[in-house]
Structure formats: C-alpha cells, structure tokens
Amino acid sequence: MTGTGGGQGGGDLLAEARGWLAQDPDPDTRAELSELIDRGDLAALEDRFRTKLEFGTAGLRGELGAGPNRMNRVTVMRAAAGLAAVLGPGRHVVIGYDARYKSDVFARDTAAVLTGAGLHASLLPHPLPTPVLAFAVRHLGADAGVTVTASHNPPRDNGYKVYWGDGSQIVPPVDAEISAAIDAVGPVDRLPLHAPGTLTELGEEVVAAYLAAVTSLPLGEARDLRVAYTPLHGVGAATLDAAFRAAGFEPPVAVVEQRDPDPRFPTVSFPNPEEPGAMDLAVALAAKLRADLVLANDPDADRCAVGVPLPDGTCRMLTGDEVGGLLAEHVITHTTGDRMVATTIVSSTLLGKIAQAHGVRYGETLTGFKWIIRAGPGLVFGYEEAIGYSIGADAGAGADARLPVRDKDGIGAALTVAAIAATAKRTGRTLLDLLDDQARRYGLHATSQLSFRVADLSLITAAMSRLRATPPTTLGGRAVTRADDLARGDGGLPTTDGLRYHLAGDARVVIRPSGTEPKLKCYLEVVIPAPDDVPTARTNATATLDTLKTDLTTLLAL
C-alpha cells in the first residue's frame, strides 16, 4: 500500500537518498540509486522518496526498486524489525516465500533480522503456495508467520504479508502496532543479525502435513476426471500435483509453457486468472485433451479459477460467486453440527439463501479473508468473489479444527472442485448442470465486475467524492431504491471506503477502491427468482449486467 507525502527540496532529497544508500545491502538497488544520485534525477528520486509503502492489514506490496516507496531489502528488514519489536524475544515466526524476484532474499533477510532480535525463525524449504505458510503457522504452533509474495500483481512487484498465531492475516490494531514499530527502526545496517541456533530450516515434512490436511477434506469417492491446469508461472504446480495424487485423482495436465515458476510471467500481461487472455493456453490445452475441467491458480496459489470445457472447444469460466455457491452447498451437505458459512459484502447474496435452506448460520463481512475467517464460531466455509475459498470439514472438537487453512487456499479449493465435478460426471453431468440446479432452487444470481485501473490514485478518490456528492438515482434503467455509504457504517458493518446501491427488481451495485491495486472496482448482481427456463434467464441477466456496466462507465468517467 502506498501512502502520501509532500515534496522535498533537491538538497534534502539527495541527502535522504544518500542516507538510504549507505544502509542498503543490495548491490542491485545500490547501483540503481547511485545512478539516480549521480545523474541528479530529482523526478525519479521524488517518486521513490516523497512517500513510502505503508504497512497495513494487507502488509506491504509494491514495485521493486530503491527507496522507501519500493519493495527492497531495506524495506523488508525494517518490516521484520518492526514485527520483532511487537512480538518480543523468544517468539516463533514461520517464513514462506514465492518465486518472484527477490522473494527468497527477502525471506532470508526476514529470518536474519528476527533471529538477530532474539526470536526463533522457521524457514519453509523452497518457494511454496501461500496456504502452506498459513497452515504451517498453526501446525508448528508459531506466534506469527510471514510470506513474501505479491500474489497476482505485475512481475515487477513484490509484497510482504503477516499472519498471526491463529493462522489468519493480521487485523487492526496489530497492523498499526507493527507500522508504528517499523517507523521507529533505525538504519538497517545497525540491526543485529543471525543469532546462532535460532533458525530452523524446515524440510518436506511440513508440506506433507499440509497435504494430509487438504486430502482430508470432504472429497467423496468419485475420481474419474481429466483436468487441464495452469499455475500461471507460479508456485502451485508441484503442490497441486501432489495433492491430486494423494487424494487418488489422476494428476492434472499442466500447460507446459506456464508450469514452472518464472518471475517474468512471460506468457501473460497480468498473472491473474481473472484477467483477459490469462486462461487462453489452459483453455486450448483442455480442448486438446478433451478435458472435463479447467483449473488455474494465481502465482502464489491461494486462489483458484474454474472453467468447464464446451463441445465447441471453448470454455465457460465460472465466476467466483458461482464456484462459491457450489463449494458451499457441497461442504454443508458433507459436514454436521453447528456450522457457519461466510462471505463479503461484495459477493453474491446467494450464499445467504443456501445457508438458510440448509439451516446453517450465515455471516457477511468486509472484503478480505482476514475478516471472513473471523466471521464467527463454527466456520466451515468462507469465500470471496475474487476466486478465494477456504474449505472445511468435520474434524473433531473445536471450531478451528474445521478449517485446515484459515485463509484462501487455492489447492484445497481445486481439489474439492475436482471432487464435485467427478461426482457429477458419474451421472453424465457437469458443474454447469449443478449451477442450473441451484438457479432453480434459489433463483438465478448473476454477478459480474467492472474494474478501472488508473495511473493516478487521486482519480479514484475524486470519483468516490463525486458519487457521494451526487448519488445516482437510476442505474441500468432501474431506480436506486437505497444508497449505503459504507464509510459511514451503513449496513451495520465496520466502516470502509465503499458505496452500495440497491436497485429496483432485486439488483445491486457495490463500488470500492481496491486494497492492493490501483483500481476502482464495481461489483454487480442481478437476481431472477427461480426461473423455469434457466438459459433464457441467464441471457436476460447478462443483458442487464451489460447495461449496468455501460451506465457505470459513463458515471465514473475513468
């Protein structure tokens, strides 16, 4: 997350840059910064030093490079020192990392700072999916966890995410405490590093424990399924392959060009399965294989995309809400006892209806898995529309025992979706048939998104201000029946920067800035009650969503 700050005079700016250079242990960023100083490139220095990456509930995320407004070894060591100060000596932190540029270096820097401060650090053995780290925190009884990843951000980005001892992402006030401790850190070249005997280099046993946990999810008995898969140059392939084998499935056939980790992400514009074109190679592979299912993970494998190949060689990609509905009903029907399912304010309203029909509790939270996972006791399934899911099972006493991973888990989700698809295949059906069944039972809940990526974050601020000053009275030809300003706490949730419009005819629009990318995001939903003719209902719903998108594009002027 990037903060704001005022400009500086050239002399002050050069002095700050030289001070940063003096403590920087990385030859790459030292060379970059030295060149900028030698050239007197004040514009480039201003961009790197006029503000800083702010530590928040999403941790740190930003472009690699020199200076406080970039991800680099100094930034990471300061973050580790701040975390160490909040935790205190003697505490245990597990560290994981993905395969992006510098991720392994940042992970070892974190270990060096933590152990130097008197903490015990355990380092995962190689680049692994984020859910393995989240699992390992509780499995090893650690006090916190750190993973170095920028998830699905562009190649030049990296990030730093912190988990607490319950295995979930940090929330306030812990984030503010760590941020304040980071601000108090002096030059990193003065930090004590590498206390002997306080670093554990973990082996494959922690991965084996994770695999045992996810293969204990409710997977049924059907295993006949052919899957085309892509990890999008990320770290998911080996773990997913091992999970499928351990569960008795034929391993997915991976897209060769995207199978191995590659921080360049050479075949995609953005390494995000939701972005246009990202799934093209997987869809082509599915057609070649005559596959039953298409699966994808994002680069750190905490999210899962799902598609159903069609006879004409194309593929129907499911929305996160559609997958969430299928997974929810599967988990509910394969678990017992007092249970809760939860999702966010921007996800479909379908989950609430499924929960009501099955007599389980339902929770609605702010966006982000850090909130979903805290929805309430007995949580057995949580999801967000951005293709993130946490799958639970019956696992003895205690609510925590239900969820092996208290965060998004793209491996566990892929495995469970495969189980649902294999069961459907036994009777000649697909996931699309199951979606039609749900539409008849609960009503067709059609959702879509509209995102605006900007170069200047002030454009998003201005757009939100315009909407608050002059709220729309109609959208997509439907009257706005109620407007909620989530920044005021409308709707009974903690405040967040967002607007929610309820429309006549059971439709809804939520508008909010992204928490991790320079985007303004719009979430659209249209509900058609229990249609007999589901295909026609889908066509009509899609037309309504398209009209809403056209109106929003004009309204937001981005």
Structure tokens at 322: 């559609």
Q: How far is CA 7 from the centre of its chain?
A: 33
As annotated, the active-site residues are 151
Task: Give 203's contacts (C-beta < 8 A, 6+ positions apart).
Answer: 125
Helix (H, G, I), strand (E, B) or coil at 402: helix
Question: Is 329 a residue whose pLDDT tops 70?
Answer: yes
- pLDDT of 398: 38
Cα–Cα distance between 150 and 271 in angstroms, integer? 10
Beta strands 315-317 and 304-309 are: antiparallel
Element at 449 (helix H, strand E): strand 444-453
pLDDT of amino acid 9: 61
Q: Indicate the pTM of the whole model.
A: 0.94
Residues 220-237 have a mean pLDDT of 98
- Please name the amino acid found at residue 380: V
Pairing of the two strands 388-391 and 379-384: antiparallel
The whole-number average pLDDT for the span 2-23 is 76
Please give the Cα distance from 254 to 296 (Å, whole number). 9
Query: What distance, in Å, lies between the first and last C-alpha atoms of the chain?
Result: 21
- pLDDT reading at 4 higher than 80: no
C-beta separation of 523 from 502 below 8 A: no
Of the candidates 69, 120, 113, the residue with the CA atom closest to the CA atom of residue 90: 120
- Averaged over 78-83, what is the pLDDT? 98
Dihedral angle at the C-alpha atoms of 215, 219, 222, 225, nearest 10 degrees?
A: -70
- DSSP H or E stretch at residue 157: strand 157-164
Alpha carbons 354 and 321: distance in angstroms, whole number: 12
Q: Residue 151, exposed/middle/buried by CB under 10 A (0-12, 13-18, 19+)?
A: buried
Alpha carbon 134 to its chain centroid, in Å, reads 13
Please name which of 526, 525, 457 lies closest in space to residue 497, comparing C-alpha atoms. 457
What residue type is assigned to position 145 of the chain?
G
Q: Percent of the chain, pLDDT > 70? A: 97
May I ask the CATH class of domain 10-185? alpha beta
What is 320-439's CATH topology?
Alpha-D-Glucose-1,6-Bisphosphate; Chain A, domain 3 (3.40.120)
Under a CB-based contact definition with an 8 Å cutoff, are residues 216 and 404 in contact?
A: yes
The pLDDT assigned to 401 comes to 64
Residue 516 has pLDDT above 80, yes or no: no
What value does the mean pLDDT take over residues 74-97?
A: 98
Give the pLDDT of residue 3: 43
3-state secondary structure 244-276: HHHHCCCCCEECHHHHCCCCCCCCCCCCCCCCC
Using CA atoms, how far apart are residues 456 and 473, in angstroms rounded to an integer?
28
pLDDT greater than 50 at residue 2: no
Look at phi and psi of residue 506 and say left if phi exceeds 0, alpha if psi is from -120 to 50, else beta.
Answer: left
**In the predicted model, is pLDDT for residue 325 greater than 90?**
yes
- Confirm if 221 and 422 have CB atoms less than 8 A apart: no
- Sequence-ordered alpha helix ranges (H) in 117-235: 130-139, 174-183, 205-214
Give the SS3 label for residue 476: coil
The predicted pLDDT at position 490 comes to 87
What letter represents residue 3's amino acid?
A: G
Q: How many residues does the chain have?
A: 558
Per-residue burial over 112-134, b if 16 or more Cβ lie within 10 Å, else e, is: bbbbbbebbbbbbeebbbbbbbb
User: Which CATH fold would you assign to the domain 208-317?
Assistant: Alpha-D-Glucose-1,6-Bisphosphate; Chain A, domain 3 (3.40.120)
DSSP three-state, residue 301: coil
User: Is pLDDT at 70 greater than 50 in this prediction?
Assistant: yes
Q: What would the mean pLDDT of 246-273 be, rounded to a whole number?
A: 97
Looking at the chain, which residues constitute the CATH 3.30.310.50 domain(s)?
Answer: 444-556
Closest Cα partner for 101 from 26, 23, 203?
A: 26
Residues 444-556, CATH architecture: 2-Layer Sandwich (3.30)
pLDDT at 57 over 90: no
Q: What is the arithmetic mean of pLDDT over 497-509?
A: 96
Per-residue pLDDT reduced to its tens digit, 386-413: 999 999 998 653 335 689 999 999 999 9
pLDDT of residue 257: 98
Round to whole Å and give the CA distance between 185 and 194.
18
HSE toward the beta carbon, residue 490, CA cutoff 13 A: 14
**Would you state the pLDDT for residue 166?**
96
- Contact predicate 256/262, CB 8 Å: no
| Sign of the torsion angle spanned by Cα atoms 508, 275, 66, 164 | positive
Outline which parts of the chain fall under CATH 3.40.120.10.
10-185, 208-317, 320-439
Whole-number pLDDT of residue 8: 55
> Rounded distance, CA 336 to CA 393, Å?
9
